[in-house]
Structure 1
């Protein structure tokens, strides 16, 4: 791979092809940097653990290898799971068309299908990673809980209701 090559990765929010971002990035960067770029492209805070998985459904991600997890970098992953800090994007995405499932935030289970869409050439005076295409509005990472304006207990709790 030439030092002037870039990868264009298509990151689609799972469950809807109408929300996606195409990210151009240096393929010699780590999967950790790719994860950060994906999360930022969707306007999320990069504040949770994550992994890249070969199994393309949530039920199969823990049985198909290879798997790449942040947990492996801190010594808390299952046997055979690889880390994201030292694994290069080019290693995880060996050819155009290759797809991995990116799971961000194991509590909220944000799922993205990441596909190597194309390769490109680095342009002078251009910063990578960069979003080169976007479609659809990203959902809120932490949606506000619904509150009934007339329900003082739900907004303030029973100890905050003024005595009458």
Structure 2
């Protein structure tokens, strides 16, 4: 069977790609298809997250590219999951994050299940809409109503200047046994 996914970037502007891929392919194959479809260079890692109908996902539910556990084989990776193991008519949604520092976040939803067309090579990019912005942004869904800059400013306003100063006075280096010009 062929799965047709729509991957929507979590962004103010509409940016999405429609991809067809064999249901027996792995999550790693879907990762590679998404990287190619959105024009990333593929040098960063990604992870998939299972989620419910409300798109709620948790970091601890992530499926990484590489086993990062203390014991080899402890963590199941993208390559070990077949698409039809996780995605089917009752569970149609995944969240995909590319570049775990920039957090390019995509909502990936199974839109259709069809028969394989012999003349088509899968995975295939079916449709492309919108241009990827220069850097990862968010529509606000991921962060809710939090404005991180204002959140930090509010936190900083609640602190006294003494709370931000790690030294109690000019002679604090002497108290710790360090010389001021040690280098």
Partner of 2:84, secondary structure, is: helix
Task: State the Cα distance separating 1:70 from its structure 2 match.
Answer: 1.2
Alignment check: 8 A CA contact 1:44 1:141 kept: no
Residue 86 (structure 1) aligned to one of 80, 84, 87: 80
Which of the two has higher C-alpha Rg?
2
How many residue pairs are counted as aligned between the two chains? 132
Task: State the Cα distance separating 1:27 from its structure 2 match.
Answer: 1.0
Task: Label 1:108 to 1:53 Cα distance change in 2 as closer, same or farther (>3 A).
Answer: same
Residue 65 (structure 2) aligned to one of 60, 65, 70: 70
User: Cα deviations across residues 33-74 of structure 1 (Å, max 9, x unaligned)?
Assistant: 1001001101111111111112435xx5224x4x311133x5
Alignment check: 8 A CA contact 1:96 1:117 kept: no
Residue 124 (structure 2) aligned to one of 116, 126, 130: 130
Q: Which has the higher helix share?
A: 2
Task: State the Cα distance separating 1:92 from its structure 2 match.
Answer: 1.8
Gapped runs of 5+ residues in structure 2?
137-183
Q: Which has the higher strand share?
A: 1
Residue 45 (structure 1) aligned with residue 47 (structure 2): no
**Superposed, which structure 2 residues align to 1:85-164 within 5 Å?**
85-95=79-89, 98-140=92-134
Residue 13 (structure 1) aligned with residue 9 (structure 2): yes
Partner of 1:37, secondary structure, is: helix
**Superposed, which structure 2 residues align to 1:24-63 within 5 Å?**
24-55=20-51, 56=55, 60-63=57-60
